[in-house]
Amino acid sequence: MAPRYESYVDHVLIPNGMVKDRIEKMALNIVTSFGNDKARSVTLLCVLKGGFRFLADLIHALESTIMARGTSLPMSMDFARIKSYVDILVVEDIIDTGKTMRYLLKYLESLSPRSVKVASLLLKRTPLSSGYKPDFTGFEIPDRFVVGYAFDYNDHFRDMHVSDSC
C-alpha cells in the first residue's frame, strides 16, 4: 500500500488476487445464466463511476470465458437507447441498503426489457438493508466503509493501486 494511504486504511479486507478470482467466477456464472436464458446479446449498464473499474475487469473476464467456452454472447454498453426485448446486466461496485438498486430496477422494468440481472462486486451486510440481493455477488462484506479498487471517499483513494484492493 502506498505510504500516503497507510494512516487512513485500517487493513486490507479483500486482497487483489481474491478480487480477480471472484470476478472470473462471476463471469462464468453470468455467461452460464444468460446462456441458459437463451440471451442473444447482453447490454451492460454501469452504475456511477465507482463501478467502472469493476465493469472493465468483468468485461475482460466475460470475454475470456466466452472465448474459452467457444460460445457467442455479444455485449454492448448503452443506457440512452435501452429498448424492450433486450437482456440487461446492471454492473454495480457495491450495494449498501439496496434502495437505489430497487429504484433503478423499477425504472428499467418500465422499459420492458427481456430480462434484467444485477452483478455487484460487494454486498454490504447492514441493518439498514432493504433485503435486496443481486443475481451475482462477488463478496458479502461487513458494514464497514471500504476504499481502493475504485471505491473512494470524496474522490480520494479511488486511485489506490489495484494490488491493494479493498
User: Which residues participate in catalysis according to the annotation?
Assistant: 96
The three cell numbers locating residue 19: 478480487
CA distances, 130 to each of 100, 101, 113, 116, 124 (Å): 10, 10, 24, 19, 11
Residues 6+ apart with CB under 8 A from 78: 43, 45
- Tell me the C-alpha to C-alpha distance, in Å, between residue 62 and each of 4, 42, 44, 120: 34, 11, 11, 14
Q: Are 118 and 16 in contact (CB under 8 A)?
A: no
Residue whose grid cell is 418500465: 110
Contact 98, 59 (CB under 8 A): no
